[in-house]
């Protein structure tokens, strides 16, 4: 008998999970309240960072290496350009979280890197002017993923393998059936499935009902500025970067790919809700990023061109949440979140598919278990 799996949310994790499951012969019913790719969640626009020397923790390196391989395979199969290698600079004080963390991951996993002082950074990338005491870890394999094209490619593979994809169809609630299986209620009726994957991003918390998890939705704003010196901020001249400008506070950016210089603060937004977030641009939204650009990239960022709101769904420790529901083993929660999940999408889809099918994932998912969020 064919296993039927409902997937709520078809963004980065949901589309990848749907593709992996469908290609394994599972009947997939995918639901999304919007029409991916869309600008209401966390995976819109044309650029997301991918990097190997993972400052958050070395445990992510094997997972991101698998993601690199799966992105390459998806690019070849879909005949879409999904990845652009630019290299990456992880910058800040030598003992800061970004630099020290990147070095720890690079050394633990024998990754290639260069350690540069502030003068060497300016020589290699003229766009930057760092304080004399700041350094940078340059990793050559970092670069840019195209999230909207990637989600489209994953959904295309899912559909080709037989998945039913229902866009603009909201799941209101779900419940476990007596004897096993899950019912998902939508405005167009109830969907019966054997298993359920919750991959709803910022809407995950409300869908968990009485399971009160410390998931905090954070409003973040990304900005595009005119490039004053375009030749210095092209993808061939300027890598992606994350810069810990002051202890514990970072900003990040991308070279100009034709849309302008993209810059944003990281984890400095305000708490909100998925449905209540303000998408209006405030003067303070621009001012903070402009100040950083003027200080560390003087003369590079011109007129403010546009902005977009992006939602982070944060756990207290900023690690992912990938696990079975503690009271409902037929339900898998897939929340590769906290503002650094997109790059892992195809690898997350693979391990979630393993959990759904009661297979052992190739990676240790202990750090992502739900118990840590329930105080157990």
Could you write out the three-class secondary structure of the chain? CCCEEEEECCCHHHHHHHHHHHHCCCEEEEEECCCCCCCCCCCCCCCEEECCCCCCCHHHHHHHHHHHHHHHHHHHHHCCCCEEECCEEEEECCCCHHHHHHHHHHHHCCCCCEEEEHHHHHHHCCCCCCCCCCEEEEECCCEEECHHHHHHHHHHHHHHCCCEEEECCCEEEEEECCCCCEEEEECCEEEEECEEEECCHHHHHHHCCCCCCCCEEEEEEEEEEEECCHHHCCCCCCCEEEEEEECCEEEEEECCCCCCEEEEEECCCEEECCCCCCCCCCHHHHHHHHHHHHHHCCCCEEEEEEEEEEEEEECCCCCCEEEEECCEEEEEEEECCCCCCHHHHHHHHHHHHHHHCCCCCCCCCHHHCHHHHCCC
Calpha distance 343→312 (Å, rounded): 14
Which residues does the chain have with pLDDT short of 50?
Answer: none
Task: Report pLDDT digits (tens) over 257-292.
Answer: 999 999 999 999 999 999 999 999 999 999 999 999
Confidence at residue 214, expressed as pLDDT on a 0 to 100 scale: 96
Confidence at residue 223, expressed as pLDDT on a 0 to 100 scale: 98
Domains in the chain (CATH in brackets) are 4-44+148-212+317-373 (3.50.50.60), 85-145+216-314 (3.30.9.10)
Q: Tell whether pTM > 0.95.
A: yes
CB of 223 within 8 A of CB of 262?
yes
CB of 354 within 8 A of CB of 26?
no
Task: Report pLDDT digits (tens) over 122-138.
Answer: 999 999 999 999 999 99
Confidence at residue 376, expressed as pLDDT on a 0 to 100 scale: 62
């Amino acid at each position: 008998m064919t296993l039927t799996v409902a997937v709520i949310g078809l963004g980065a994790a949901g589309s990848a999970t749907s593709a992996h499951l469908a290609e394994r012969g599972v009947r997939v019913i995918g639901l999304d309240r919007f029409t991916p790719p869309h600008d209401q969640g966390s995976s819109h626009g044309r650029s997301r960072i991918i990097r190997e020397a993972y400052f958050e923790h070395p445990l992510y390196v094997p997972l991101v290496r698998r993601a690199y391989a799966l992105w390459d395979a998806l690019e070849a199969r879909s005949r879409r350009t999904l990845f652009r290698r630019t290299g990456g600079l992880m910058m800040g004080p030598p003992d800061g979280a970004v630099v020290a963390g990147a070095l720890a991951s690079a050394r633990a996993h024998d990754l290639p890197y260069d350690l540069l002082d502030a003068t060497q950074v300016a020589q290699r990338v003229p766009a930057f002017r760092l304080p004399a005491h700041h350094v940078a870890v340059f990793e050559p394999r970092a670069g840019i993923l195209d999230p909207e094209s990637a989600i489209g490619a994953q959904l295309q593979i899912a559909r080709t393998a037989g998945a039913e994809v229902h866009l603009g169809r909201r799941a209101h609630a779900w419940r476990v059936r007596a004897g096993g299986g899950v019912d998902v209620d939508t405005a167009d009726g109830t969907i019966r499935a054997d298993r359920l994957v919750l991959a709803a991003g910022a809407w995950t918390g409300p869908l968990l009902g009485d399971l009160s998890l410390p998931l905090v939705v954070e409003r973040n704003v990304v900005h595009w500025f005119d490039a004053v010196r375009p030749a210095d901020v092209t993808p061939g001249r300027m890598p992606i970067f994350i810069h810990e400008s002051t202890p514990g506070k970072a900003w990040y950016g991308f070279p100009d790919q034709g849309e302008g210089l993209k810059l944003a603060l990281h984890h400095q937004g305000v708490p909100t809700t998925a449905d209540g977030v303000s998408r209006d641009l405030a003067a303070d939204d621009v001012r903070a990023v402009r100040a950083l650009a003027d200080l560390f990239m003087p003369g590079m960022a011109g007129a403010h061109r546009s902005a977009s709101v992006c939602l982070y769904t944060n756990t207290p420790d900023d690690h992912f949440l990938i696990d079975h529901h503690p009271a409902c083993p037929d339900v898998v929660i897939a929340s590769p979140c906290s503002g650094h999940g997109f790059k892992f999408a195809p690898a997350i889809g693979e391990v979630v598919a393993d959990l759904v099918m009661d297979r052992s994932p190739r990676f240790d998912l202990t750090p992502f278990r739900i118990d840590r969020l329930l105080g157990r």
